[in-house]
């Protein structure tokens, strides 16, 4: 198949027949893009539904929460990709060859709006075409679907050399090294059952929190152990066929899913899937650009799609299992070290969650609930190192204990900032949602334990009001074993302050506890060089020393710890020493910080730098590192940073906890180069769903009240205070002061 002459067609989001104004430069191409497949098939699209995921043409299927291997060797357990199926057209003399295809070739289409990948092969000399479609079903989310439609031109239907059957073959790759598979049933038409395989992982992750191997069941609608031959009489214009594979921990759940899917005809089955994706684009989240910016529109919507594909479907045929978090390369990857073995990092909370929250608060809760369920493991991690409270591991998987690769023990030991990162994310989620009940139920227990860990980890001087965090590593992993990394200390101060606020708000009256936290928070050292008016990254940092990635500059956005002229000096100094091969999200953070500091042209420069060298052109799949360097594929962390730059940098919106209320900060936005307007649809704030439209001259926030919403909004601009009611519409023009809109419960 890969030897054929191929034409790539990418339809990013909207279909050909949508009556959209093409001048809006939204997300569709009327003619598609004429490209070849990526030379590295790692950069094929990765598809998922939060329960199952895979990369097109890849050799692996992965399931949410299923890992194999001990401690740092734990990785997503690879299921052979039995969905990787190809169809050939054949007659009694053999099958069609590349020569039969070469005139018109094969088109490959990633349809983001409908949520499937397909190829169409035209056999010009034979007068027929073969369409193959593959997708993880978004509503029947235990089901993976392969469909083939073969169509014959009537002019060729009676020819003697016209193909007489289709041959379907599986290409699952090598046997799995993660599972011991046993055939439960081979299936037979006589008995009415299906081929069923039970898989049991070989090695548990950590015995204290996992007593037994994990077990899954895989049920096939039809066995393809041997190639399947479908008869195609020459008089028949079309033949259709589908293969369904259902996977779950429970055999009964997988079987019910398969039976429910097979009750539907092929069109109805696809319709349930596309309806679910349409609901996401039309009700949950989308970004539209106005202007002649098709390429950027495609990158934005492809990024949204790949990020959403790793999240749980919120409306499903059967109840979802607990969600096991967002790893840097998503659910459809995780067998390789380059995929970070499917582990969870700070990437989840700092880079992806701020965007995921706008997809809907339930998505954000699903992501954060993983940390809540692993709190006991985090407390164990702290105790095992001689500390109190909860220390979340740098990398976590099934059990929530430390699973950092054995290559890099210093990373696991020293990147303690992930614990306050999680606490910071809890506070940001509250700032978005205004959900006080959630704070007390989910956020406060975590925030309290993180605060206890930070106090026990801090080293406070006896005769000076100064506390340190020693022997740490900040986000810049080129500098291990440093003292007082300024990002780590700043996010820890924020975490301690949030824990005190949450405790008081949730009815805890332990003044002794709060005083202990406050004493450390007030004294944690934030390094500042008065001569150069900048923050040294860590004790002993020498100006012009090269660093790996965004670190100190994060004190501006997202932390909002320091937005003074000192922050501008941080941006200037560290922009000149960050290495070229750094990860994608670094430049997006420079862009966001420059844009929020009204440094528009520098913002444009770093915004473009943050995606142009990181996105593969064929399917807009992201790489962790610039093209030409080794790095991860489908890099969701980079997508998250890029979308934050669009929403928070160009959009000029932010959400903060302001004492006992949440506040949305609006400033006049700006737009990327050649973009007339940006429409962010379904941005969430408190009980409302908003539409944020911004461009180089104005910004408009329109927030409509949601069903059952209570409370009111208050706006402060300068010295003017205005009660807005339960919904509001605010327009800013260039030169206006920022607006602060607070939700009053």
For 342-354, the pLDDT digits (tens) are 999 999 999 999 9
Instruction: Judge if the upstream peptide bond of residue 505 is cis by omega within 30 degrees of 0.
Output: no
Residue 137's pLDDT is 98
- The CATH 2.70.98.40 domain(s) of the chain lie at 40-263
Listed range (231-245, 264-278, 377-391, 532-546) with the worst mean pLDDT: 231-245
Collapsed DSSP state (helix, strand, coil) of residue 194: coil
Whether 254 and 219 have beta carbons less than 8 Å apart is answered as yes
**Does the structure show a pLDDT above 70 at 694?**
yes
Burial of 323 (0-12, 13-18, 19+ CB in 10 A): buried
Neighbours of 169 (CB within 10 A): 13
Q: CA-to-CA distance for 632 and 240, rounded, in angstroms? A: 37
Mean local confidence (pLDDT), 447-472? 97
Q: Which of 331, 313, 423 is nearest to 368 (CA)?
A: 423
Query: Is a pLDDT exceeding 50 seen at residue 249?
Result: yes
Residue extent(s) of CATH 1.50.10.10 domains in the chain: 338-526
Which one has a higher pLDDT value, 19 or 122? 122
Question: With the C-alpha atoms ordered 488, 494, 498, 499, is the resulting torsion angle positive or negative?
Answer: positive
pLDDT at 4: 29
Higher pLDDT, 154 or 514: 514
Nearest to 558 by CA among 692, 624, 656: 656
Whether residue 335 is predicted with pLDDT greater than 90 in this model: the reply is: no
**H or E stretch covering 677:** strand 677-685
Instruction: Give 140's strand partners.
Output: none
Which residues are paired to 88 by β-bridges? 167
pLDDT of residue 29: 32
Is the pLDDT at 22 greater than 70? The verdict is: no
Q: What is the mean pLDDT of residues 617-639?
A: 90
DSSP per residue, 577-622: TB-TT--HHHHHHHHHHHHHTT-HHHHHHHHHHHHHTTEETTTTEE
What tokens appear for 340 in the block?
Answer: 């970070």
- Are the beta carbons of 46 and 145 closer than 8 angstroms? no
Whether 322 shows a pLDDT value over 90: the answer reads yes
Mean pLDDT lowest among 34-43, 117-126, 423-432, 711-720: 34-43
CB 425 within 8 A of CB 438: no
Top-level CATH class of 40-263?
A: mainly beta
- pLDDT range class, residue 96, cuts 50, 70, 90: confident
Mean pLDDT to the nearest integer, 488-512 = 96
247 has pLDDT over 90: yes
The secondary structure element, H or E, covering residue 486 is helix 486-505
Instruction: Give how far Cα 238 sits from Cα of 67, 69, 128, Å.
Output: 42, 47, 9
The closest alpha carbon to 322, from 50, 75, 140, belongs to 50
Q: What CA–CA distance (Å, rounded) separates 593 from 609? A: 14
pLDDT digits (tens, 9 = 90+) for 263-288: 999 999 999 999 999 999 999 999 99
Alpha-carbon distance of 383 to 391, in angstroms, equals 9
Q: Which of 686, 165, 67 is nearest to 400 (CA)?
A: 67
In CATH, 338-526 is 1.50.10.10: yes
Predicted pLDDT at 707:
58
489 φ/ψ angles, rounded to the nearest 5 degrees: -65, -40
If you average pLDDT over every residue of the chain, what do you get? 91
With 60 as the cut, is the pLDDT of residue 312 above it?
yes
- Binned at pLDDT 50, 70 and 90, residue 471 comes out as very high
pTM metric for this prediction: 0.94
* pLDDT tens per residue across span 149-206: 999 876 655 555 577 899 999 999 999 999 999 999 887 645 568 999 999 999 999 9
- The mean-pLDDT minimum among 12-26, 114-128, 231-245, 698-712 falls in 12-26
Contacts by residues 262-268 (CB-CB < 8 Å, ≥ 24 positions apart): 262/221, 266/147, 266/240, 266/242
Cβ-based neighbour number of residue 650 at 10 Å:
26
Q: Mean pLDDT across the stretch 78-100?
A: 87
Q: How would you class 638 by CB atoms within 10 Å of its CB: exposed for 0-12, middle for 13-18, buried for 19 or more?
A: buried
Instruction: Round to whole Å and give the CA distance between 704 and 655.
Output: 18
The residue-averaged pLDDT of 708-721 equals 85
Residue 101 has pLDDT above 80, yes or no: no
pLDDT in tens, 394-405: 999 999 999 999
Q: Is the Cβ–Cβ distance between 394 and 344 less than 8 Å?
A: no
Question: Residue 226 — pLDDT band, cuts 50, 70, 90?
Answer: confident
Mean pLDDT of 587-599: 96
| Model confidence band, residue 630 (pLDDT cutoffs 50, 70, 90) | confident
pLDDT at residue 423 is higher than 70: yes
* Model confidence at 468: pLDDT above 70: yes
pLDDT at 258 over 90: yes
Task: Determine the pLDDT at residue 439.
Answer: 97
d(Cα 434, Cα 694) in Å, to the nearest integer? 24
| Average confidence (pLDDT) over 306-317 | 97
pLDDT at 105 over 80: no
What is the pLDDT at residue 726? Answer: 86
Please report which confidence band the pLDDT of residue 102 belongs to, taking 50, 70 and 90 as the band edges. Answer: low
Buried b (16+ CB within 10 A) or exposed e, 270-302: beebbebbeebbeebbbbbbbbebbbbbbbbbb
Contact 303, 694 (CB under 8 A): no
Q: How many residues does the chain have?
A: 745
Helices (H), ranges, 619-669: 636-644
Contact 647, 653 (CB under 8 A): yes
Query: Helix, strand, coil shares of the chain as percentages rounded to 5?
Result: 30, 25, 40
How confident is residue 323, by pLDDT bands cut at 50, 70 and 90? very high
- For the cut 70, the answer to whether the pLDDT of residue 732 exceeds it is yes
Q: Return the pLDDT at 34.
A: 35
- Residue 541: what pLDDT? 98
């Amino acid at each position: 198949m890969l030897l054929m002459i191929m034409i790539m067609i990418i339809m990013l989001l909207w279909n050909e027949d949508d009556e959209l104004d093409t001048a809006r430069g939204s997300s569709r191409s009327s003619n598609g893009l004429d490209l070849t497949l990526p030379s590295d098939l790692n950069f094929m699209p990765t598809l998922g539904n939060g329960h199952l995921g895979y990369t097109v043409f890849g050799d692996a299927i992965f399931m949410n929460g299923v890992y194999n291997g001990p401690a740092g060797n734990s990785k997503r357990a690879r299921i052979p990709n039995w969905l990787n199926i190809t169809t050939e057209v054949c007659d009694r003399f053999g099958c069609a060859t590349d020569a039969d295809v070469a005139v018109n070739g094969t088109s490959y289409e990633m349809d983001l709006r409908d949520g499937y990948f397909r190829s169409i092969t035209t056999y010009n000399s034979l007068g027929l075409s073969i369409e193959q479609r593959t997708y993880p079903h978004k509503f029947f989310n235990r089901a993976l679907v392969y469909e083939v439609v073969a169509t014959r031109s009537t002019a060729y239907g009676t020819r003697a050399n016209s193909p007489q059957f289709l041959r379907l073959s599986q290409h699952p790759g090598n046997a799995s090294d993660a599972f011991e598979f046993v055939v439960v049933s081979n299936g037979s038409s006589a008995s009415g059952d299906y081929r069923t395989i039970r898989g049991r992982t070989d090695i548990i992750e950590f015995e204290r929190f996992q007593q037994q191997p994990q077990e899954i069941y895989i049920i096939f609608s039809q066995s393809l152990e041997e190639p399947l031959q479908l008869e195609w009489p020459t008089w028949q214009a079309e033949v259709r066929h589908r293969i369904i594979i259902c996977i779950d921990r429970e055999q009964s759940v997988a079987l019910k899913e398969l039976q429910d899917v097979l009750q539907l005809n092929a069109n109805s089955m696809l319709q349930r899937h596309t309806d679910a994706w349409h609901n996401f684009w039309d009700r949950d989240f989308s970004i539209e650009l106005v202007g002649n910016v098709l390429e950027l529109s495609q990158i934005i919507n492809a990024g949204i799609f790949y990020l959403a594909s790793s999240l749980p479907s919120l409306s499903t045929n059967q109840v979802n299992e607990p969600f096991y978090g967002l790893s840097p390369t998503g659910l459809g990857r995780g067998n390789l070290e380059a995929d970070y073995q499917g582990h969870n990092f700070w990437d989840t909370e700092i880079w992806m969650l701020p965007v995921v929250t706008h997809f809907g608060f339930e998505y954000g809760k699903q992501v954060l609930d993983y940390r809540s369920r692993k709190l006991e493991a985090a407390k164990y991690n702290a105790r095992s190192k001689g500390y109190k409270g909860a220390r979340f591991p740098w990398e976590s998987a099934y059990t929530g204990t430390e699973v950092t690769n054995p290559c890099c023990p210093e990373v696991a030991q020293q990147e303690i900032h992930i614990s306050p990162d999680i606490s910071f994310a809890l506070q940001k989620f509250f700032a978005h949602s205004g959900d006080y009940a959630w704070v007390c139920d989910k956020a406060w227990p975590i925030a309290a334990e993180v605060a206890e860990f930070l106090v026990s980890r801090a080293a406070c001087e006896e005769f000076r009001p100064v506390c340190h965090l020693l022997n740490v590593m900040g986000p810049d992993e080129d500098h291990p074993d440093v003292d007082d990394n300024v990002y780590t200390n700043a996010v820890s101060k924020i975490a301690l302050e949030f824990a005190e606020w949450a405790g008081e708000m949730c009815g805890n009256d332990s003044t002794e506890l709060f005083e202990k936290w406050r004493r450390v928070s007030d004294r944690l050292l934030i390094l500042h060089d008065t001569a150069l008016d900048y923050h040294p990254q860590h004790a002993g940092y020498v100006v012009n020393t090269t660093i790996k990635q965004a670190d100190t500059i994060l004190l501006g956005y997202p932390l909002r710890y320091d937005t003074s002229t000192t922050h501008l000096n941080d941006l200037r100094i560290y922009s000149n020493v960050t290495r070229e091969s750094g990860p994608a999200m670094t430049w997006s953070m420079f862009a966001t910080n420059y844009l929020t500091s009204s440094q528009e042209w520098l913002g444009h420069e770093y915004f473009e730098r943050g995606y142009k060298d990181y996105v593969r052109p064929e399917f807009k799949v992201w790489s962790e590192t610039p093209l030409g360097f080794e790095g991860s594929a489908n890099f969701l962390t980079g997508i998250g940073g890029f979308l934050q730059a669009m929403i928070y940098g160009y959009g000029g919106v932010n959400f903060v906890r302001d004492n006992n209320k949440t506040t949305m900060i609006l400033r006049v936005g700006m737009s990327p180069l050649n973009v007339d307007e940006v429409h962010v649809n379904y941005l969430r704030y408190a009980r409302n769903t908003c539409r944020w439209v911004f461009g180089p001259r104005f910004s408009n926030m329109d927030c409509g009240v949601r069903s059952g919403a209570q409370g009111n909004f208050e706006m402060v601009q300068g010295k003017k205070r205005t009660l807005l009611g339960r919904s509001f519409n605010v327009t800013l023009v260039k030169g206006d002061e920022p607006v602060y809109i607070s939700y009053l419960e």
